[in-house]
Amino acid sequence: MSACKTLIRASLSCLEFRARTPNSTTRRHISFSLSLNSGLRTKSHKPFSVSRSFGCANGAITSEIPDCTEEIAHYPNAALETTQDLCKDTVEELLSKDKDDISRLMKMERRLLIGNELEDVKKRGRWFPYLDKCKAGDAYLSSAEVLEAIDPYIMDARKERFRNAVNSRSYSVCLVIEGLSDFGNVSAACRSADALGIQSVHVVSCDSSKRYKDNRHVSMGAEKWLDIEPWTSISECFGALKSRGYRIATTHLGVDAVSVYDVDWSCPTAIVVGNELRGISDEALELSDLHCCIPMSGMVDSFNVSVAAGLLMHQATRDRTLRMGRHGDLTEDERQILLAEFYLRHNNNATKIANEFAKRKKLAAVSSKL
Region of residue 53 (left: phi > 0; alpha: psi -120 to 50; beta: else)? beta
- The arithmetic mean of pLDDT across residues 64-75, rounded, is 40
Residue 249: CB atoms within 10 A of its CB come to 24
Burial of 240 (0-12, 13-18, 19+ CB in 10 A): middle
Would you state the pLDDT for residue 159? 97
- The arithmetic mean of pLDDT across residues 27-44, rounded, is 41
Residue 17 has pLDDT above 50, yes or no: no
CA atoms within 13 A on the CB side of 235: 3
Angle at Cα 91 formed by Cα 90 and Cα 95, nearest 5°? 125
User: What is the C-alpha separation between 140 and 103, in angstroms, rounded?
Assistant: 15
Would you state the pLDDT for residue 255? 81
Would you state the pLDDT for residue 117? 60
Would you state the pLDDT for residue 277? 78
pLDDT, one tens digit per residue, over 201-255 is 999 985 544 444 444 444 556 778 999 998 889 999 999 999 999 999 999 888 8
CA distances from 90 to 51, 236, 367 (A): 26, 23, 42
**pLDDT higher for 147 or 214?**
147
Average pLDDT over all residues of the chain = 76
Specify the pTM: 0.72
pLDDT, one tens digit per residue, over 154-191 is 999 999 999 999 999 999 999 999 987 777 888 899 99
User: What is the C-alpha separation between 200 and 43, in angstroms, rounded?
Assistant: 49
